[in-house]
Amino acid sequence: MTEDSSLQSQNPISQAQNSVVTAHHAVTQAQSHPSEQLIEQAQTAVERAERAVEQAGFSHNQKAVEEARADLAEDQAALQSLTPMESPEETETR
């Protein structure tokens, strides 16, 4: 572990930003392949990001916190619109 990553891991804003990026990737993956499992993983990632942003809210850098909140809100909205697709096996058995 480098000194930079150690410092970042202790910074609530960096943790929030990293969580939001992780949530964004999970939501994007679920949008591309909307299986129940990927949607659940995205929901979990969004929930973690919400907690991280909430913790960062006590920071002095409110601009960074607000940007993280805005990015997260976009992903939350995208996630709400997803419904799991049927797998090809389920479709073939009908």
How many angstroms separate the CA atoms of 90 and 10, rounded?
46
Question: Per residue in 4-26, pLDDT tens?
Answer: 555 545 689 999 999 999 999 99
How many angstroms separate the CA atoms of 41 and 79, rounded?
11
Higher per-residue pLDDT: 79 or 3: 79
DSSP 17: H
pLDDT classification of 85: cutoffs 50, 70, 90: confident
pLDDT confidence of residue 9:
55
**Overall pTM surpassing 0.85 (yes/no):** no
Q: Where are the domains positioned within the chain?
A: 13-82
